[in-house]
Structure 1
Amino acid sequence: MSKKTNYSYIGIAFIILVFGIIFVPKIIDRVSEGDVIRDESRSINVLNSSVEGAKHNKSDLAYLEINGVSKKVPAFSFTNQDGKTITNEDYLGKVYVVEFFFTTCPTICPIMNRNLVDVQEDFKDFENFGVASFTISPEIDTPEVLKAYAEKYGVTNPNWNFMTGDEAVIYKLANEGFNLYIAKDDTAEGGFEHSGNFALIDKEGFIRSRVDDFGNPKIFYNGLISEAIGIDDDGITQEITILKEDIAKLLKE
């Protein structure tokens, strides 16, 4: 072996020795005193625990998905029964039920709203529960008319807004935003066709529901049969009970 090679080994050994003398004690001190690396490790563990906790807090209620994307309530802005502007952002952080109705409805609307008052009473102690009722007859249903209607049905929840506004915007919100069918129809009683279903919205603004026997979201809740009646003449079972159960699940999320 040449002297040149020997000198190379000696040089490398010297560098390693110097590194050990200078840096190893510092590394030991940092570890013994609780260094940043250990703190970061703890932070990651806490973060992971928080994420896992958030997952565990989610209920078994499904999201309505369109093309693989969870459907969220579209932006809206209307005037309520008190003349105040209400938007979708006013409902963030709240669990709420959506309906489309009109005050002069001679058929299903009174049933729907009596059922919603029943739901209201079950959750009267929850400040983060609400209802969004959109009129499909805005020419007639002014804020004053909606106010009288709310009082007639015994609405006391401050988060229950009866809203009116531009007709075209309301119809688009119903048919495209919530997939709850509404249309003018001179042959129908009251002059309108509309769904008797309710939509359930979570605190983040997503449409949620339980799933059917095949694992598909039910999407909506039948609002036309009361708990007291139970089953109608056509053999259809009421869904107000499961609506209440699912509201309670979302309130815990």
Structure 2
Amino acid sequence: MKTILFTLVIMLSACHQKPAQTGLPYFDTPDFKPIWIDKTTAGFQTLHTIPGFSFTDQDGKSITDKTVAHKIYVVNFFFTKCGSICPKMTDNMNKVAHAFINDQRVLMLSHSVTPALDNPSILKSYAKQKNIVNPNWHLLTGNKQQIYEIARKGYFAEDAVGYNKDFSQFLHTENFVLVDGHRHIRGVYNGTIDFEIENLVRHIKMLEQEVD
């Protein structure tokens, strides 16, 4: 429901907001309340920013905040043994990956929430099984506490409900989170709903038109 409301907010803003408030909003809090803010204002400097990170992908490569510097990227959380929402999420992320397969400006980061089980070798097999061919789509494993911390505190992956949970409480969310080249959150989407993925692709293209 939250992602559907977000879509409606974006549509309405295009019709009713002042010129300075058009385009994609920023999200500064885990309740995903949208903020339209001009990059020249003082408040822009204090917007929530994704913290630094370091994880390992399916090819054994280190993927860090430097990897995504000045890139647009989409984040989600899954695990290879998941039989509920994860297969649909992976199929839908693959739609995003194919839409930008020749675009070096766009990355996808899928974090395993069971990193002790999902080592790089397992993730590599999963990537082959799911026909993941975009080299800019990284399936990530690493320290569980760090993954859960950045999921809940960094990406607000479970909205406000999960913000204060710790890594002992299982992380399970259908949210895809869109992050811009300055590591600001610009959108949240239900990764199991096809039209939400269409909106995500459209919004990525909108971000590519933004002037830094």
TM-score normalised to structure 2 length: 0.74
The answer for the alignment partner of 1:225 in structure 2 is 193
Cα distance in structure 1, aligned partners of 2:102 and 2:143: 33
The answer for the alignment partner of 1:101 in structure 2 is 78
The answer for the alignment partner of 1:18 in structure 2 is none
The correspondence of residues 69-88 of structure 1 with structure 2, limited to 5 A, is 69-88=46-65
Residue 180 of structure 2: which of 202, 219, 233 is its match? 202
Task: Give 1:166's aligned amino acid.
Answer: N
Task: Give 1:60's aligned amino acid.
Answer: G
The answer for the alignment partner of 1:151 in structure 2 is 128
- Structure 1 residue 202 displacement after superposition: 0.8
In structure 1, runs of 5+ residues without a counterpart are 1-55, 186-191, 210-219, 227-237
**Relative to structure 2, which stretch is displaced further, 73-82 or 150-159?**
150-159
The answer for the alignment partner of 1:60 in structure 2 is 23
- Report sequence identity in percent: 39
CA contact (8 A) 1:76 1:88 kept: yes
1:240 to 1:75, Cα distance in 2 relative to 1, 3 A: same
The answer for the alignment partner of 1:32 in structure 2 is none
1:167 to 1:126, Cα distance in 2 relative to 1, 3 A: same
In structure 2, runs of 5+ residues without a counterpart are 1-18, 30-34, 36-42
Cα distance in structure 1, aligned partners of 2:125 and 2:22: 37
CA contact (8 A) 1:72 1:206 kept: yes
| Count of aligned pairs | 170
Deviations 1:141-170 (A, max 9, x none): 000001111111111221111111111111
CA contact (8 A) 2:113 2:171 kept: no
More helix, by proportion: 1
- Structure 1 residue 125 displacement after superposition: 2.3
TM-score normalised to structure 1 length: 0.63
Cα distance in structure 1, aligned partners of 2:59 and 2:198: 30
Are residue 241 (structure 1) and residue 166 (structure 2) matched? Answer: no
Q: Partner of 1:200: helix, strand, or coil? A: strand
1:59 to 1:201, Cα distance in 2 relative to 1, 3 A: farther
- Structure 1 residue 59 displacement after superposition: 6.7
- The structure that has the greater radius of gyration is 1
Are residue 126 (structure 1) and residue 94 (structure 2) matched? Answer: no
CA contact (8 A) 1:59 1:250 kept: no
Task: Give 2:124's aligned amino acid.
Answer: K
- The structure showing larger relative contact order (alpha-carbon pairs under 8 Å, at least 6 residues apart) is 2
